[in-house]
Structure formats: structure tokens, C-alpha cells
Amino acid sequence: MSEPIISLQNINVTFKQKKKTIEAVKSVSLEVEKGDVYGIVGYSGAGKSTLVRVINLLQIPTSGTVVVNGTTFFKANNPSAHRVQIGAKELRDKRRKIGMIFQHFNLLNERTVSENVAFALQNSKLSKEDKDAKVTELLELVDLTDRKDQYPSQLSGGQKQRVAIARALANDPEILISDEATSALDPKTTNQILALLKKLNEEYGLTIVLITHEMQAVKEVANKVAVMQDGQIIERGSLLEIFAQPEEQLTREFIETATNIDRAIDVISQQPVIQELNEGQQVFARLTYSGNNADEPLITSLYDKFNVVANILYGNVEVLQGEEVGSLLVILGGEPSSLEQALAYLADQGVAVEVLKGTQTV
């Protein structure tokens, strides 16, 4: 692996308010590779926004190291002077290479769409004509050419966010930080914006750091995920790992919001078939599988190998980054010993088995 494009090491951000100290970010390290779409998920107040603002030093950390694209922005292991490692002008230059979009768009209300985009080009070395051409090109990219002379108040939320994206891309950044960029949008518009982000990532190799409380959004575009709680990253991994094998309770909660499987479990548990489960010979279980084992005829082999029958009550398959992640709620029936073997066999095949009711302790 090459150098990460963003490297945050042991970042702490502490706010002092009157007599209270608030630790917004607690010794977080994060490495983002070039071309990643890194999703950072957490509830509000988890420190996500504070953490990503450290990347372009909109938030000066209390301690830690910030390296972006090989330049050390900030380095401090103790709170002393001269911790910001680059001058004000250089920082402004570097910030232009880190685009940022926001939940509430933050467009200049008193400027038209094209003026908003041109605002980001004020310090560019391009000639007047080149700037105009750049604005036109960006507005074409976000499909807003016909709106160029309108003011933000005349646009819908999705259009505003597209203007914001065009502005963020004006200086050809290598990194785009998305701070809850889809949280104020309806589901359909959210998908349009996410599709645009995905396109930018795939076609232009833009590295994206996407913070959100919507797992759905992460599921659509991210290839890596970190889950934040109380200023710390409690779990991280590839999208597939996180979805297939979440370890923390909070991660499960977030995944649930994107798949609804917990609700299915609640509903099915109330059904007579589960209420009257023959606990000696039946097991109600949740099977989660991913990647290659999704293609195996597992359920059939359960019967062939162990004479265990499976009654599928609920199924869900997600395609994440081109790989399948499936969840099944099943009742497995058979002799207690064969049930035990069957469950062990499933686990052997890389299927995560969670027994919800029945002859347990297998």
C-alpha cells in the first residue's frame, strides 16, 4: 500500500467551556487511502464533524498529527506553541485541494449559482476566461447549467447541494469531505447526490470522507466504514466486513437501520411457528453470509449431510461493493445431535450463526 492520502494519528480535540471540559475526539487515528470512500458513521454528538474538520484544520486539534497528501499540517504531542506546521497562506492553498460539502449546503445567498462556484476560484491562478470555462464545466458536471443565474433560494435542496459540490470541486481537489451532505435531503434526492459522489470517486479518483448518521448512505457508496461513539472509533473495516460481521452493538444498530432485519426478527418472533417452537428439535436462527459462500447451496447440503430441514422465514440480500451479503431467518429442524453438527458446519462455511431461540446451548 502506498502512503495514505489522509493520516490522522492520535487526534484529541478538547473544548473548554467555562468549567467543563468536553472531549469531542479522543485519541482517534484514521488512515484514508487514495481512492477510498471512507464512511464515518455515528449519532450526532459522536465527534464525527469535529474529526473531519481536523483534516483541513478548520478545527485545530488539541494534540495529534495531521498529514494530508504528504504534507504535515499539524504535529503536537503536548499542548505547546507552533503546533500548526504550515503558514497561513500555505494552509489556504492546501485547503483548496480539500473540497468540503455540508448538511445545510452553506451557499452564499447573495450570489448566483455560477457566482457561488466562481467564489471558490478567487485565488486561482487561472485567467478570467479559464475561470468562466471552469465554472461552466463544473455546472455541466452537476447538471445545473440552466440554473446558473438563479439564486440559491430559488433552488431545491438537491440542486443546492449540487451547487455546493461544484464549488467544492472548483480547485480540482484530491479529497472531498462530506459532512452529513445528504441528511437534509429526501431519499430520492439523497440517492442522486450519492450517485454523483460515486461517479466522482470512480471517474476522477476523488477520495471521499463521508460522515453521516445514515447507514443507507454509507452502504451505497463507501468501501470502508468507521463507527464513532463518544469521540472514539469503536469499530472499523471494509464495508463488507462491517455489514457481514459487525462486532459492536452500535454497529449492529446502524446496520439494522439499513436492512430492517431486527424488525423482521421482532415480527416473526410473535408468530405461532416461533411461539410454539419445539425447542428440543427445532432452532430459530439468523444466518448471515457474505461473498463467495453466498453462492453455495448451503440449505440443500444441510439436508443432504445432516438430514436437517430448513424453513426459511425471511431473507434479505444486499449487494455491497459488488459482493453479496445475505441474511436469513430460518427454523432448522432435526435430531438434536444433527442440529448441533449442522450449526457447526454452517459456521465452518463462514456463515455467522446467531441462535435466537431453541435447543441452546449448542
Partner 1 sequence: MSNWIQQTFPNVIYQGWGGDTGWWTAIVQTLYMTFWSAIFGGILGLIFGFGLIVTSPRGITPNRVLFWIFDKVVSVFRAIPFIILLAFIAPFTKLIVGTQIGSTAALVPLSLGVFPFYARQIQVALSEVDSGIVEAAQAVGSTFNEIVFGVYLREGRSEIIRVSTVTLISLIGLTAMAGAIGAGGLGNMAIAYGYNRFANDTTVVATFLVLIFVLIVQLVGDYLAKRLNHK
107 binds partner 1 (CB under 8 A): yes
111 binds partner 1 (CB under 8 A): yes
Of 109, 127, 270, 275, the residue at the interface with partner 1 (CB under 8 A) is 109
342 binds partner 1 (CB under 8 A): no
CB of 150 to partner 1, least distance (A): 9
Q: Choose between 119 and 204: whose C-beta lies nearer to partner 1.
A: 119
Residue appearing with cell numbers 459540490? 165
108 binds partner 1 (CB under 8 A): yes
Q: Choose between 106 and 293: whose C-beta lies nearer to partner 1.
A: 106
Q: Which long-range contacts (CB under 8 A, 24 or more apart) does 54-58 make?
A: 54/8, 54/11, 54/13, 54/25, 55/6, 55/8, 55/98, 55/175, 55/177, 55/209, 56/94, 56/95, 56/98, 56/100, 56/177, 57/84, 57/91, 57/95, 58/100
Q: Where are the beta strands (DSSP E) in the chain?
A: 6-17, 20-32, 37-41, 63-68, 71-76, 98-102, 175-179, 207-212, 224-229, 232-238, 282-290, 309-320, 323-333, 352-358
CB of 59 to partner 1, least distance (A): 10
Residue type, position 299, single letter: I
96 binds partner 1 (CB under 8 A): yes
Q: Which stretch binds partner 1 (CB under 8 A): 73-81, 97-105, 194-202, 297-305?
A: 97-105
CB of 160 to partner 1, least distance (A): 12
Q: Choose between 128 and 188: whose C-beta lies nearer to partner 1.
A: 128
> What's the CA gap between 169 and 299, in Å, rounded?
49
Q: Choose between 134 and 219: whose C-beta lies nearer to partner 1.
A: 134
Q: Choose between 176 and 328: whose C-beta lies nearer to partner 1.
A: 176
How many residues sit close enough to partner 1 to count as binding (CB under 8 A)? 31
Can you spell out the DSSP letters for 156-178?
A: -HHHHHHHHHHHHTTT--SEEEE
Nearest residue to 133 via CA among 150, 151, 147, 145:
145
CB of 96 to partner 1, least distance (A): 4
- Structural contact between residues 101 and 56, judged by C-beta atoms closer than 8 angstroms: no
- Structural contact between residues 257 and 214, judged by C-beta atoms closer than 8 angstroms: yes
Site string for partner 1, 56-95 (x = CB under 8 A): x-x--------------------------------xxxxx
CB of 132 to partner 1, least distance (A): 18
Site string for partner 1, 147-176 (x = CB under 8 A): ----xxx----------x--xx-xx-----
CB of 103 to partner 1, least distance (A): 9
Residue type, position 353, single letter: V
Of 5, 24, 25, 120, the residue at the interface with partner 1 (CB under 8 A) is 120
> What's the CA gap between 239 and 216, in Å, rounded?
12
- Structural contact between residues 245 and 319, judged by C-beta atoms closer than 8 angstroms: no
Positions in the binding site for partner 1 (CB under 8 A): 56, 58, 91-96, 98-100, 102, 104, 106-111, 119-120, 122-123, 151-153, 164, 167-168, 170-171
